[in-house]
Structure 1
Amino acid sequence: MKKQVSASDSRTAQTKLVLPPDTNHMGTIFGGTVLSYIDEIAAIAAMKHSRNVVVTASIDTVNFFSSAKVGDILSLEAVVVSTGRTSMEVYVRVECQNMETSGKTLTTTALLTMVAIGADGKPTPVARVSPETEEEQRLSQSAQARKEWRLKINEYAEEM
């Protein structure tokens, strides 16, 4: 396994059409549907980085900025921005394009932690990631603080 992998090696893009079954009574996409898309693309990016199957360990933040309607096109992009020994933090960005106006808006961002799983069914080491863009570098620099926050949340949950 390489000791370091460029973030661009994990970059993954998907496009989805918002269809009527994907929407709620207001005609906008269900948040759960968007979360499902985010989890899927994050897993693909993490698998590309680790060359292993992965599981979702946490979804740290999901920010919904705007919604999408039937007929809109969602563009999702995911990239590994930080790595631990067996884990990868993946940043996902979702944009919506309105077909009538061609206007694009940011709909959602998310940070997920994925863990690589080896053939033995146990967590397996991953290569370090080398962030490339300013955004990737900023997210990578703040990853340790998010990891410490997750550990505190886990400790609190165990105490309950």
Structure 2
Amino acid sequence: MTLTPKRAQDSLVQMTELVLPNDTNTFGNLMGGRLMYWMDIAAALACMKHCSAPVVTASVDNISFENPIKLGNVVHIESKVSRAFNTSMEVHIRVWGEDPVQQYRYKSNEAFMTFVALDPNGNSRPVPKIIPDTEEEKKLYDTAMSRRQLRLILGGKLKPEDADALKAFFSI
């Protein structure tokens, strides 16, 4: 079965949330777990747009919190499939906070997540390839294989010596 490749831009999801008291910690900042929950939803939606199938989270890369998002601020989450492999998709997620009173927008964090598409029986199924158009999409696409191989090594599914895309980083 040959699937028609799709443009990365066609998977774009933009999600907006308001930080309410129940979303914050004792410092009045958005709890990291709540943000990760919203990021997971946005990323899953991008993957479902891309593959037209249900998906499950396979992995979450490092999430660094650059700037806290305060109570009453707005959270903007943008997710887009950066590369599709056989049955899995890597998603690039960017998060900004916005102070709606001061009308100031700031970067909060960025991350990569991986999802697997499922067939009606709950088994993995093939997904369409990605066509990157912009320079940023091409850069994310080109570097995705290294990130994937690192994930597989850390997950015990690939031996380091078999990670061809990573060898250039470690060869002398």
TM-score in terms of structure 1 length: 0.94
Residue identity opposite 2:88 in structure 1: S
Give the structure 2 partner of residue 85 of structure 1.
86
Give the structure 2 partner of residue 16 of structure 1.
17
Give the structure 2 partner of residue 105 of structure 1.
106
Give the structure 1 partner of residue 6 of structure 2.
5
Residue correspondence of structure 1 range 44-55 to structure 2 within 5 A: 44-55=45-56
Give the count of matched residue pairs. Answer: 156
Q: Is the contact made by 1:76 and 1:92 (CA closer than 8 Å) also made in structure 2?
A: yes
Is the partner of 2:113 in helix, strand or coil?
strand
Q: Distance in 1 between matches of 2:156 and 2:68?
A: 34
Residue identity opposite 2:74 in structure 1: I
Give the percent of matched residue pairs that are identical in Structure 1 and Structure 2: 36
Q: Which has the higher strand share?
A: 1
Q: Is the contact made by 1:11 and 1:80 (CA closer than 8 Å) also made in structure 2?
A: yes
Q: Is the contact made by 1:81 and 1:91 (CA closer than 8 Å) also made in structure 2?
A: yes
Deviations 1:96-151 (A, max 9, x none): 11022101000011100000001121000000011122222111111111111111
Q: Distance in 2 between matches of 1:79 and 1:26?
A: 31
Q: CA RMSD in A?
A: 1.2
Which structure has the larger Rg?
A: 2
Gaps of 5+ in 1: none
Give the structure 1 partner of residue 67 of structure 2.
66
Residue identity opposite 1:77 in structure 2: E
4+ residue segments displaced more than 3 Å: none
Q: Is the contact made by 1:61 and 1:112 (CA closer than 8 Å) also made in structure 2?
A: no
TM-score in terms of structure 2 length: 0.87
Q: Is the contact made by 1:53 and 1:117 (CA closer than 8 Å) also made in structure 2?
A: yes
Residue identity opposite 2:29 in structure 1: T
Gaps of 5+ in 2: 158-172
Deviations 1:17-46 (A, max 9, x none): 000000000000000010000000000000
Give the structure 2 partner of residue 136 of structure 1.
137
